[in-house]
Amino acid sequence: MKTIGTITFHKTENYGAILQACALQKILSGMGHDSEIIDYYDPLMRISLLSRFRKVRYFVWHSIVRKLLVGVGRKRKTEEFCRKFLRLSTKKYLCSEKLHVDPPIYDVYIAGSDQIWSPNIINNDPSYFLTFAPSDKKRISYAASFGISQIPGEFVDDYRERLNKIHALSTRELEGRKIIERLTGRNAEVTLDPTLLLDQNQWSQIAVPYESSRPYILCYYMPGEITVNKSITSLARQVSVLTGWRIICIGQKEYMKLNPLYHSIFDAGPAEYLGLFQNASFVITNSFHGTAFSINYRKPFLVPIDKNIPPEEALTSRITTLLSTLTLEHRLIPVGESLPLDDILSLDYRAAEIILQHEKKKSISFLTDALKE
């Protein structure tokens, strides 16, 4: 048995981030290791990337308007979930400097999963590359994601140096493997997101089922992609007309609560989020983890994509890697296209199931081998 410290995104209300952290910890514990998530969160990390005007807007929205519109239900449920299902380090770190001066001591350190190497999120924070770990300890990345296909020039040297100090490298996307190869000349394994290492029965033990008197289409939106989000809404309406099913939305901007035409849920915590996927009849999403949980629960789904977004700016490489691997890329639909009519309401998972089990074994083997002496 080894003691393992993992650094990832866990202090967040993002469903996928919390659930991937939960999944990796469960997998490591199931392998017989003593696993903790390092309780590191720099509250200034993302805000520092914003302009002065956007900082003010960010503060007003998150501190005042958001609470007035939707209350604090989601925050409370998320905190309860984390207390119940995440095991954190005893010591809390609120800045990178303190983590480097007085790091927690483990046998092995793991970075991942999620977009912990995205320059657009971490603001070149070295902590997510395990630079705080003692030099005599093993460092591993598991399914870490860059979130983009090309590292900005000003970060290239830092990324190259930090990646070269990680003993065993794995990434979540093919694009990530290409970045590592370009920067270091090293080969990185492409591994599954931790949420796909647990099966639907394991997730259902955590989920709070959503009770609905009639079948529903679940729409899960990721912010920032306006044309894609409009496409999600349009496709959902088409499916609803075809089936008579109701539409339920999560991930919408809070001001949509004021729109009586939408049935949006804003107070779901991670367990409620799982329950919404568990009982959905159909899913439409542009979220990676929304796609992953559609697959976990073997739901028919669609993923709208905007082919006009340049590859270096697109956030879809993680989804396309997953769907291509599982031969499910036909569930991608370009923005503006109408609902496909070829048996769209069902999805044969038999071929994908075989591939998924193989990829699970490969991902677990990577972890097992990396954790060996």
CATH code of 283's domain: 3.40.50
pLDDT average, residue stretch 229-248: 91
84-106 residues labelled b (16+ CB within 10 A) or e (exposed): ebbebbeeebebbeebeeebbeb
Nearest C-alpha neighbor of 6 from the set 29, 28, 38: 38
H helix or E strand, kind and range, residue 272: helix 270-279
What pLDDT score does 253 carry?
60
Structure tokens at 95: 């800045």
Predicted confidence band at 339 (pLDDT cuts at 50, 70, 90)? Answer: confident
What pLDDT score does 48 carry?
47
pLDDT of 76 over the 80 cut: yes
Same domain, 102 and 26: yes
Nearest C-alpha neighbor of 191 from the set 65, 40, 358, 35: 358
In the numeric block, the tokens 């035409």 are attached to 261
pLDDT of 307 over the 80 cut: no
| CA 297 – CA 201 distance, rounded (Å) | 9
Residue 322: CB partners within 8 Å, gap ≥ 6? 193, 196, 288, 291, 292, 295, 328
Same domain, 162 and 262: no
In the numeric block, the tokens 């296909």 are attached to 149
Residue 368: CB partners within 8 Å, gap ≥ 6? 31
| CA 56 – CA 62 distance, rounded (Å) | 10
How confident is the prediction for the chain on average, in pLDDT? Answer: 88
pLDDT of 320 over the 80 cut: yes
Residue 96: CB partners within 8 Å, gap ≥ 6? 42, 125, 126, 127, 132
List pLDDT tens digits, range 130-140.
999 999 999 99
Same domain, 186 and 204: no
Predicted confidence band at 205 (pLDDT cuts at 50, 70, 90)? Answer: very high
Same domain, 245 and 192: no
pLDDT average, residue stretch 336-361: 89
Same domain, 47 and 22: yes
pLDDT of 147 over the 80 cut: yes
What pLDDT score does 149 carry?
84
Same domain, 191 and 216: no
The answer to whether residues 295 and 37 touch, using CB atoms and an 8 Å cutoff, is no
Same domain, 194 and 207: no
Percentage, residues of the chain above pLDDT 90: 69
Same domain, 219 and 340: yes
What pLDDT score does 321 carry?
86
If one compares 310 and 293, the residue with the highest pLDDT of the two is 293
Same domain, 128 and 221: no
If one compares 43 and 257, the residue with the highest pLDDT of the two is 43
What pLDDT score does 226 carry?
80
Note the pTM of the prediction, 2 decimals.
Answer: 0.91
Picking from 51-55, 98-102, 318-322, which range would have the lowest pLDDT averaged per residue?
Answer: 51-55
Residue 4: CB partners within 8 Å, gap ≥ 6? 28, 33, 34, 35, 36, 106, 107, 108, 109, 110, 371
In the numeric block, the tokens 């591993």 are attached to 140
What pLDDT score does 47 carry?
47
Percentage, residues of the chain above pLDDT 70: 87
What pLDDT score does 120 carry?
87
Same domain, 166 and 275: no
pLDDT of 59 over the 80 cut: no
List pLDDT tens digits, range 3-38.
999 999 999 889 999 999 999 999 999 999 999 999
**How many domains would you assign to the chain?**
2
pLDDT average, residue stretch 261-276: 88
What pLDDT score does 336 carry?
81
pLDDT of 92 over the 90 cut: yes
What pLDDT score does 260 carry?
58
If one compares 202 and 55, the residue with the highest pLDDT of the two is 202
Same domain, 20 and 136: yes
215: alpha, beta or left, given left = phi > 0 and alpha = psi -120 to 50? beta
pLDDT of 50 over the 50 cut: no
The boundaries of the domain holding residue 268 are: 200-352
pLDDT of 323 over the 70 cut: yes
Same domain, 230 and 125: no
pLDDT average, residue stretch 164-179: 95
pLDDT of 62 over the 70 cut: no
The answer to whether residues 209 and 35 touch, using CB atoms and an 8 Å cutoff, is no
